[in-house]
């Protein structure tokens, strides 16, 4: 199938383009971007023009920042195109629900992707936890914003999520692997005095069976990056490390046979091909609900200014 990629920035170049080019399901037929392009691929700066001139392109993958994404997604759906959304699926929950309605009315596929759910050991962790009684879960997600988001000012603005841009990856794994739903009860958001978005956050959740569930996100990490989820159960402990690439159960490491993190985006595009083939959609908003709740319930603390 032909696919158009919209928003040719760092994530598109690093992840989406290689995944599409390596896929047996897709041909990158066009790009839309004000600045970026892909060698050998027709490029547009105007999305409406691409939709009008390329009716044979039935699928659009949107890699834009969250705030402008809704307009592009709504236009694509109105034109009868299937739409794949980078995470988070929108700047607000209301936008996402509107896109679900539009996709349903048009009879097309809408796929809200959560790439961290496709890390190699997430599915095995979910399977192991299915019949266990959890007593504690601790999420530690600490990275260096300068390394992963250099010069991306939009990420600090309203709708950019701040530290929840990576933190929502952790929440996408948590909501995937837990047998029982959780909800946020308290949060502290550390906001630099010169920014709109938080640079760090601590969260606490209620679990229906009384487990102690907490998370810490921080963008000020030097040295090794930390993406860990640790779970204590009645059958021992499980830990996911490196964003779900590695799993340790009761001290024994379990390794994936295939790609670990580098397999995330290829699996997303394989999922999208399957959804289009069956006419289904997949728009799970659970990770985003937790972030929205954190902004609603979170206590703000002003911290030192941050400069790239």
Determine the pLDDT at residue 127.
97
Q: For residue 277, with 0-12 CB atoms within 10 Å meaning exposed, 13-18 middle and 19 or more buried, which class applies?
A: exposed
For 134, the token pair is 């959890």
pLDDT (average), residues 186-195 = 98
pLDDT over threshold 90, residue 256: no
Percentage of the chain lying above the pLDDT 70 cut:
99
Residue of 10, 87, 132, 209 with catalytic role: 87
β-sheet with 110-112: strand ranges across: 42-44, 27-32, 2-6, 59-62, 82-85, 110-112
**Given pLDDT bands bounded at 50, 70 and 90, which one contains residue 259?**
low
Burial of 59-80, coded b for 16+ CB within 10 Å and e otherwise, reads bbbbbbbbbebbebbbbbbebe
Backbone φ and ψ for 15, nearest 5 degrees, come out as -120, -50
For 27, the token pair is 């041909």
User: What is the secondary structure of 163-180 as a DSSP string?
Assistant: THHHHHHHHHHHHHH-SS
**What's the predicted TM-score (pTM) here?**
0.95
pLDDT over threshold 90, residue 301: yes
Determine the pLDDT at residue 54.
97
Determine the pLDDT at residue 255.
81
Cα 184 to the center of its chain, rounded Å: 19
CA pair distance 20, 197, nearest whole angstrom: 32
Q: Which domains does the chain have, with CATH numbers?
A: 2-112 (3.40.50.720), 116-258+291-303 (3.30.360.10)
Give CA torsion, residues 90, 161, 284, 117, to 10 deg. Answer: 130
In three-state secondary structure terms, 190 is strand
> What does the pLDDT look like over 224-250, one tens digit per residue?
999 999 999 999 999 999 999 999 999
> What does the pLDDT look like over 126-174, one tens digit per residue?
999 999 999 999 999 999 999 998 888 999 999 999 999 999 999 999 9
Determine the pLDDT at residue 236.
97
**Given pLDDT bands bounded at 50, 70 and 90, which one contains residue 262?**
confident
For 240, the token pair is 């996911």
**Given pLDDT bands bounded at 50, 70 and 90, which one contains residue 258?**
low
The verdict on whether 126 is a catalytic residue reads no
Backbone φ and ψ for 63, nearest 5 degrees, come out as -115, 20
- Of the candidates 307, 297, 300, the one whose C-alpha atom is nearest the C-alpha of residue 151 is 307
């Amino acid at each position: 199938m032909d696919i158009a990629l919209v928003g040719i920035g760092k994530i598109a170049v690093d992840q989406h383009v290689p995944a599409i080019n390596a896929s047996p399901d897709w041909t990158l037929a066009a790009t839309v971007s004000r600045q970026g392009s892909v060698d050998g691929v027709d490029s547009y700066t105007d999305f409406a023009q691409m939709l009008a001139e390329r009716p044979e392109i039935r699928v659009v993958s949107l890699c834009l920042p969250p705030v402008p994404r809704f307009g592009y997604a709504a236009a694509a759906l109105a034109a009868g195109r299937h739409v794949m959304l980078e995470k988070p699926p929108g700047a607000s929950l209301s936008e996402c629900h509107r896109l679900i309605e539009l996709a349903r009315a048009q009879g097309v596929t809408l796929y809200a992707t959560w790439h961290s759910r496709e890390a190699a050991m997430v599915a095995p962790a979910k399977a192991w936890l299915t019949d266990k009684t959890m007593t504690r879960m601790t999420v530690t997600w600490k990275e260096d914003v300068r390394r992963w988001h250099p010069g991306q000012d939009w990420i600090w603005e309203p709708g950019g999520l701040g530290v929840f841009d990576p933190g929502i990856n952790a929440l996408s794994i948590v909501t995937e692997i837990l047998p029982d739903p959780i909800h946020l009860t308290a949060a502290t958001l550390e906001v630099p005095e010169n920014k709109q978005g938080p640079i760090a956050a601590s969260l606490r959740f209620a679990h229906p069976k009384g487990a102690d569930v907490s998370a810490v996100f921080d963008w000020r990490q030097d040295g090794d990056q930390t993406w860990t989820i640790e779970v204590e159960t009645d059958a021992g402990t499980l830990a996911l490390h490196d964003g779900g690439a590695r799993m340790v159960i009761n001290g024994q490491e379990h390794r994936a046979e295939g790609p670990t993190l580098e397999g995330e985006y290829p699996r997303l595009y394989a999922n999208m091909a399957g959804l289009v083939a069956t006419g289904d959609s997949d728009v799970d908003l659970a990770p985003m609900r937790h972030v929205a709740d954190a902004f609603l319930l979170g206590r703000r603390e002003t911290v030192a200014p941050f400069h790239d």
